[in-house]
Amino acid sequence: MANLDHPVAALSSADIICSSCGHPLIMSGRDPLDTVGPDANGEIQSHQLVPGTLLANRYRIVALLGQGGMGEVYQADDLTLQQPVALKFLPPHLQGDRAALTRFHREVSLARKISHPNVCRVFDIGYAEGLAFITMEFVDGEDLRALLGRIGRLAPNKATEVARQLCAGLMAAHDEGVLHRDLKPANIMLDHRGNVRITDFGLAAPVGEAGAVAAGTPVYMAPEQLRGQASVRSDLYSLGLVFREIFTGNAPGVEAVTAEIASTIERIISQCLESDPEKRPISVSEVGAALSVGVSIPKMPSPEHDPFQKYQIAWWMFATTLLGLAGLLAITGQAVIFNRPPGNPSAVLFSWTWCIGAQILLVFLSIGYLLRQSVRVR
């Protein structure tokens, strides 16, 4: 399942301060791609439920899927509905924290508003053995961060498809008035069919009610989000960083590697990453529309793999030769015709018909060949 290192941090100009314990977090030595969490300066406490454990007489634990500063996620079998689910637990040291439990309930309340194939479904919140947990859709796949860590970047066609699905899922959240505020590859799942699910609404907030406290993963946050001013356009900034990573392999905070991408994609990424939010696209739907226009433009294959470009010179030489021969025959035919007695109209008609017909046939053959090769190229 997804990486669960959620951030709940207040950022000052000097460092990152945990809103729960007040400790500075920026010098903790953690991976810069990890989210800052309340226990970033301490070890993650774990109840480590063993496979086979039965919770609430309904959920049987199958395996631990992931853990982080803000909890653990397990795969479980829902014995009532006879289907796999994912259970997300608060870590033990936050189980009695009223603020943490409030955020837990808020996550469920906001996530349940969103119903879309590209958003991981959240079902309910439950309690068992003194532990609070969220029940959600089990996604049989891999998070995007792990995938990019293995392969570097996605193939252009796959990256475009993932980008389009991300736009669709994020648009569904925004349409329900929900800001994600922590969009990053670790919070994006790809199932075994390659379909995208946006996960982890632990830091989500209603549009217009994001508050003055910065929340998110610092390297994926827009400049204004670092100042506590989250908006639809700050989600677009994070989306642009994810786009750049899937198309080029360049993650924030990591030394960039030169990668060639389509000019349309490059333009979309640049617009999303404008430091001034007013210069970014107005909405996710605008980004999705630009992306759709971009992928509709056919990419011409390189000359070494293009049979039309490889043989077109030889074809035109052949066609020119035939046309020249037809012209020569026409001239010869006219000379013969004009030297004949005018009393032989059938010879005149035959010569002219043959010459004109041959040239028309060659023209149509040339046009047909060009159209056929054009279709192949596309």
**Residue-wise pLDDT tens digits, 347-359:** 656 666 766 776 6
Please compute, for residue 185, the number of CA atoms within 13 A of its CA located in the half-sphere on the CB side: 26
Q: Cβ atoms within 10 A of the Cβ of 216, count? A: 27
Q: What is the 3-state secondary structure (H, E, C) of the chain?
A: CCCCCCCCEEECCCCEEECCCCCECCCCCCCCCCCCCCCCCCCCCCCCCCCCCEECCCEEEEEEEEEECCEEEEEEEECCCCEEEEEEECCHHHCCCHHHHHHHHHHHHHHCCCCCCCECCEEEEEEECCEEEEEEECCCEEEHHHHHHHHCCCCHHHHHHHHHHHHHHHHHHHHCCEECCCCCHHHEEEECCCCEEECCCCCCEECCCCCCCCCCCHHHCCCCHHHCCCCHHHHHHHHHHHHHHHHHCCCCCCCCCCCCCCHHHHHHHHHHCCCCHHHCCCCHHHHHHHHHHHHHCCCCCCHHHCHHHHHHHHHHHHHHHHHHHHHHHHHHHHHHHHHCCCCCHHHHHHHHHHHHHHHHHHHHHHHHHHHHHHHHHC
Lowest mean pLDDT among 7-21, 66-80, 168-182, 272-286: 7-21
User: CA separation (Å) from 99 to 90, 104, 208?
Assistant: 12, 9, 21
- pLDDT for residue 150: 94
If you classify domain 9-137 with CATH, what class do you get?
alpha beta
Please compute, for residue 188, the number of CA atoms within 13 A of its CA located in the half-sphere on the CB side: 26
Tell me which range, 144-148, 321-325, 330-334, is most confidently predicted by mean pLDDT.
144-148
Segment 203-254, tens digit of pLDDT: 899 988 755 567 888 999 999 999 888 999 999 999 999 999 999 999 998 8
What mean pLDDT do residues 3-30 have?
Answer: 36
**274 vs 130, residue with greater confidence:** 274
Q: Is 182 tagged catalytic?
A: yes
Lowest mean pLDDT among 43-57, 108-122, 163-177, 258-272: 43-57
**Does pLDDT of 310 surpass 50?**
no
CATH for 141-296, among 3.30.43.10, 3.30.365.10, 1.20.200.10, 1.10.510.10? Answer: 1.10.510.10
**What are the residues facing 136 on neighbouring strands?**
86, 122
pTM comes to 0.66
Considering the candidates 34, 143, 182, 235, report the single residue annotated as catalytic.
182
* Extents of the domains making up the chain: 9-137, 141-296, 303-377
